[in-house]
Structure 1
Amino acid sequence: MTGIRPRRRGDRGSASVAIAIVFPAVAVLFLALAQAVMLAAAHQVALASAEEGLRVARAHDHTMDQGKSTALAFAHHEPVLIGPSVTASGTTTITVTVRGQAPSLLPGVHLSTTGTAAGVRERFTTPGPP
C-alpha cells in the first residue's frame, strides 16, 4: 500500500463544513445581484415612460394631460414597474416624472425608483425681423 495515506481524524467532514459556510454567502450575493437587475430594469421602464410622456406633452398640438396618460400607459405596459404614478409640470420647459416600485425578491422590502425627462415645449415661429 504505497502512496495511500490514512485519513486523519480531524479531516473528517471538512469539505461539508466549508460548503455550509460558503453557500449562504454565495446565495446572498446571487439574490443581491438579481435584486439589482430588477431595480435597474424598473428604473429603465420609469425613464422610458417619462421620455415617452415628454415626447407627447411637448408637441405643439398636445396637452400636459395627454403626456401624462401616455407615460402612464407606457409604464403599465411593462410589468416590471409596480404602481407607477406620473406627474408633469412646466409651461415652456416641461418635466415629466414617473415613480414606481421594483419587484422585490424579499418580502416586506420596497425599492422605489424614479425616471425624469425634461424638454422645451415646441412652438412655431415665423421668420422675419425680431
Structure 2
Amino acid sequence: MTAFRRRLRDDRGAASTQLVLVVPVLLLLAMLVVQFALVWHARHIAQYAAQRALAAARAKGGTAADGRAQAGQSLAALGSQILTAPSVAVDRTTTQTTVRVHGAVMAVVPGLHLHASGTASGPTERLTTPGGERP
C-alpha cells in the first residue's frame, strides 16, 4: 500500500503540464505588448503626417490638395506597413486649417483591430494690415 500512496503523490510530469498551460499565456502577453507598441508608433506616424500636411495646407497659396499630397508622401515614407489604409481629411478655411489622419494599425494579435489617428490645426496664413484688417 505504501508504493501506491507514493505513486499518487508523485510529481512526475507536473512541470510539463505547467509549461503547456503557462507558455501560451506568456506568448499572448508578449504579442499584446508588441501590438500596443505598434499602436503607439502608429499614432506618432499619424501625428507627424498631420503636422506636415498642416504646414503645406495652411501656407499662403496652399490648398487642401497640397496638404493631402504632403500627408500621402509622409505616410508612404514612414508608415505604409504600420498604419494601413490611412485616410486624410483637410479642412481649410480663410482663418483656420485642420488636418486629420486616421488609419488601421497592423495586427499582430489575430482578431484585434486597432486604429490610430493624428490631428493638427492652426491658423491659415494670410496678409493683414498692422491694424488686423485684410488689405
What SS does the aligned partner of 1:40 have? helix
TM-score between the two structures when normalised by the length of structure 1: 0.83
What SS does the aligned partner of 1:54 have? helix
What SS does the aligned partner of 1:99 have? strand
2:3 alignment counterpart: none
What SS does the aligned partner of 1:77 have? helix
RMSD: 1.9
Where in structure 1 are there 5+ consecutive unaligned residues? 1-7
1:113 alignment counterpart: 116
1:33 alignment counterpart: 33
Q: Which amino acid aligns with 1:16?
A: S
What SS does the aligned partner of 1:104 have? coil
Separation of aligned partners in 1, 2:16 and 2:132: 85
Question: In the comparison of the two structures, how many residue pairs are matched?
Answer: 123
Closer/same/farther in 2, CA of residues 122 and 25 from structure 1, 3 Å limit: same
8 Å Cα contact 1:102-1:110 kept in structure 2? yes
Separation of aligned partners in 1, 2:32 and 2:132: 61
1:5 alignment counterpart: none
- Is 2:84 aligned against 1:75? no
Separation of aligned partners in 2, 1:76 and 1:22: 40
2:21 alignment counterpart: 21
Separation of aligned partners in 2, 1:17 and 1:129: 76
Separation of aligned partners in 1, 2:111 and 2:76: 22
Separation of aligned partners in 1, 2:68 and 2:119: 12
Percent identity among equivalent residues? 37
Closer/same/farther in 2, CA of residues 34 and 124 from structure 1, 3 Å limit: same
Closer/same/farther in 2, CA of residues 129 and 57 from structure 1, 3 Å limit: closer
- Distance apart, 1:97 and its partner CA: 0.7
Separation of aligned partners in 2, 1:95 and 1:128: 26
Deviation track 1:40-76 (CA, whole Å, cap 9, x = no partner) reads 1111111110110001111112112101110111112
Q: Which amino acid aligns with 1:88?
A: V
2:45 alignment counterpart: 45
Separation of aligned partners in 1, 2:55 and 2:13: 63
Separation of aligned partners in 1, 2:115 and 2:123: 27
- Is 2:90 aligned against 1:104? no
